[in-house]
Amino acid sequence: MAMPQHSNPEDRLLSVAEHEMVAQTMPPALDQLSKEALQALAKRLRSARDRARRIGRQQKREIRGKGDPKGAVPARDNAGTEAKAQALAEAVTRVTGALRKLNAPSQAELTRKAAETKRAAPVSQHPGAGTTASKGMQPKPSRRPTAKSDPREVGRVSQAGKVAQAKRDR
Give the helix, strand, coil percentages of the chain, each rounded to 5. 60, 0, 40
pLDDT of residue 163: 96
Residue whose C-alpha is closest to residue 23's, from 41, 35, 7, 36: 41
Q: What percent of the chain clears pLDDT 90, i.e. is strictly above it?
A: 41
Which of 7-16, 19-28, 149-158 is predicted with the least confidence, judged by mean pLDDT?
7-16
In eight-state DSSP terms, residue 134 is -
**Does 82 or 77 have the greater pLDDT score?**
82
Q: How confident is the model at residue 54 (pLDDT cuts 50, 70, 90)?
A: very high
Rounded mean pLDDT of 55-73?
A: 84
Rounded mean pLDDT of 1-14?
A: 63
Q: How confident is the model at residue 1 (pLDDT cuts 50, 70, 90)?
A: very low
Residue ranges per domain, the chain? Answer: 9-105
pLDDT tens digits along 79-131: 889 999 999 999 999 999 999 998 888 899 999 999 999 888 877 677 777 77
pLDDT of residue 3: 46
Whether 43 shows a pLDDT value over 90: the answer reads yes
The SS3 call for residue 7 is: coil
Whether 39 shows a pLDDT value over 70: the answer reads yes
pTM above 0.75, yes or no: no
Mean pLDDT (the chain, rounded)? 85
In eight-state DSSP terms, residue 149 is P
Residue 100 identity (one-letter amino acid): R
CB 81 within 8 A of CB 59: yes
Cα distance between residue 126 and residue 133, in whole Å: 20
Cα distance between residue 57 and residue 79, in whole Å: 11
Whether 2 shows a pLDDT value over 50: the answer reads no
pLDDT of residue 52: 94
Whether 10 shows a pLDDT value over 80: the answer reads no
